[in-house]
Structure 1
Amino acid sequence: MSVLIAIPARYASTRYPGKPLVALTGANGTATTLIERSWRAACSVRGVDKVVVATDDDRIRDVAESFGAEVVMTSESCGNGTERCTEAHEVLGGGFEIVVNLQGDAPLTPHWFVEDLISGLRAAPDAGVATPVLRCDGDALNSLLNDRKHDRVGGTTAVFASDHSAMYFSKEVVPFTAQTYAGAEPTPVFHHVGVYAYRPDALAAYPGWPAGPLEQLEGLEQLRFMENDRKVLCVEVEAKGRQFWELNNPQDVPKIEEMMAAMGLD
């Protein structure tokens, strides 16, 4: 089953303009752009046939090509990463059986998150879309709560049914829990990992649907599938000792650099 990983990257981010070109310093003191780190993460995934950066920006294209990435230029009209992946798949001529959207702000995504995601979608023929979720420990939950306390839009949380079909995604911390947690203690909150795997029919249908009220309120592209009665499968993944965080705001840069240093990631 052929697999494409597309890394959608745009310069004109509302919350963090120029984010793909932000440099992150690894454990060895070397500063490398976010887009290159995301590309490296994609290239480490086993069983993938092609990895491309999908962008509409010449600056991102030039940087990506300088470190050896294949770049697919997409239109400025793409409203989010899913639409950009749809267009990239079309530009490449289609034909892939699974398209993975590894968003360009998740350089700490371990290869097994994506491998488990692909396996999960393959095992669920009734799902057109799958996405990973990671159970928060106390430290991760407190980081999410701290972002909300300071009016920062941080990570996304997910709730799902017993068959792992998504019930909702939110930039608020859901479900609510009055209990406090610390350290590595497991919590009932799941951090949504910003990666998606699509079957081509679901991906092709997406741009034809208008953005619904929930997508517009939350600013979360995956809600468009749910608002159009398409099942989104949540695939639970394991950290295996790895820390995970996405770069959503400038304040996340030192946090991610600290995580890379702690894990010895260059």
Structure 2
Amino acid sequence: MSVVIVIPARFASTRYPGKPLVELRGADGEVRSLIRRSWDAAMSVRGIDRVIVATDDDAIRDHAQAFGGEVAMTSTECRNGTERCAEAVANLGITPEIVVNLQGDAPLTPAWFVEDLVAGLRADPQAEVATPVLRCSGRMREDLIADRRAGRVGGTTAVFGRDGRALYFSKEVIPFVPAQVAPDAPSPVFHHVGVYAYRPDALAAYPAWPEGTLERLEGLEQLRFLEHGRYVLCVEVEARGRQFWELNNPEDVPRLERMMSEMNLR
């Protein structure tokens, strides 16, 4: 049994071109690229057999290889990270037990998020895909709402059933909460963490499915699984005092650097 992490990275991002090569300053003052920090996060996960950067860009390839990363080149036709992961696995001719998509814009992803995700997928043989969700505090919920009010695409939220089966994902803050939540109190809103664990058959089938209306409107790749009736498992993870945020917009760079400083992450 094997688990492979694939980090999809493309240069020509619509919202933030060149994002994988954006530099972030850690708590020790050292500057490292976003893709390097994502690689470091992947390498810290226990029980992983291989970490691969999947990209269609020569500059990202050269940069990743310079810091010792393994790279799989993919086509420019991949519409999202899931398609890029599928193509990388197919091109490499590997058949792991589980493929993890650790998106290259989430360098603050703690190792235990991925470890718990893999354990959750293994524990539910009916699930074809698993993804982590993190319960928002009142403060984190307000940060998400503030991004939306400012017209920024911030974090994604998730709603799921009692069994953990995903019902929907949205860039809006859902569900609606009629009352204000205290800053440090838990809220009923769950932040979707941009990591996926796939069974190989589900990953291989994904690129051939047509993009659905919901996926197109929300710009969320995981909705293609839901629109095709596939079982996506939401695995709740614990922050353990760690702050979490993805780099979605240029405005997120100082936010991530502040978080790294506060958590003493180098």
**TM-score, shorter chain, exceeding 0.5:** yes
Q: Which residue number in structure 2 is paired with residue 119 of structure 1? A: 119
Q: Distance in 1 between matches of 2:183 and 2:107?
A: 23
Residue type of the alignment partner of 2:15 = R
Corresponding position of 1:92? 92
Report the 3-state secondary structure (helix = DSSP H, G, I; strand = E; otherwise coil) of the residue aligned with 1:249: coil
**Could you list the per-position Cα deviations for residues 138-184 of structure 1 after superposition, in whole angstroms to 9, with x for gaps in the alignment?**
11111100001101010000000000000000000000112112332
Deviation at 1:110, TM superposition (A): 0.2
- Equivalent-residue separation in structure 1 for 2:112 and 2:26 (angstroms): 21
Q: Distance in 2 between matches of 1:220 and 1:94?
A: 26
Letter paired with 1:68: G
Instruction: For 2:27 and 2:161, locate their aligned partners in 1 and report how far apart those are by CA, in whole Å.
Output: 39
- The within-5 A match list for 1:44-83 is 44-83=44-83
Residue in 1 aligned with 2:175? 175
Matches of 1:36 and 1:87 in 2, distance apart? Answer: 22
Report the residue type matching 2:125 in the other structure: P
Change (3 A) 1:31 1:182: farther
Q: Distance in 2 between matches of 1:86 and 1:95?
A: 11
Aligned to 2:192: 192
- Tell me the TM-score normalised to structure 2 length: 0.99
1:109 lines up with 2:106 in the alignment: no
Shift of residue 22, structure 1, vs aligned partner? 0.3
What amino acid sits opposite 1:238 in the alignment?
E
SS in 2 for 1:109: coil
2:244 is aligned to 244
Q: What is the count of residue pairs matched by the alignment?
A: 266
Structure 2: stretches of 5+ with no match in the other structure? none
- Secondary structure in 1 matching 2:14: coil
Q: Which residue matches 2:40? A: 40
What's the secondary structure of 2:82's corresponding residue? helix
Of all paired residues, the percent bearing the same amino acid is 70
Q: CA deviation at 1:99?
A: 0.2
Cα distance per residue 1:43-74 (max 9 Å; x no partner): 00000110000000000001101111000000
Cα distance in 1 between the residues matched to 2:124 and 2:179: 34
Q: Which residue of 2 aligns with 1:231?
A: 231
CA distance in 1: counterparts of 2:115 and 2:155, whole angstroms: 22
| Partner-residue secondary structure (3-state), 1:143 | helix
Taking only aligned residues, the RMSD between alpha carbons, in angstroms, comes to 0.6
Segment drifting more, 229-238 vs 174-183: 174-183
Residues of 1 paired with 2:137 and 2:123: CA distance? 27
Structure 1, gaps ≥5 residues long: none
Give the Cα–Cα distance (whole angstroms) in 2 for the partners of residues 40 and 63 of structure 1: 14
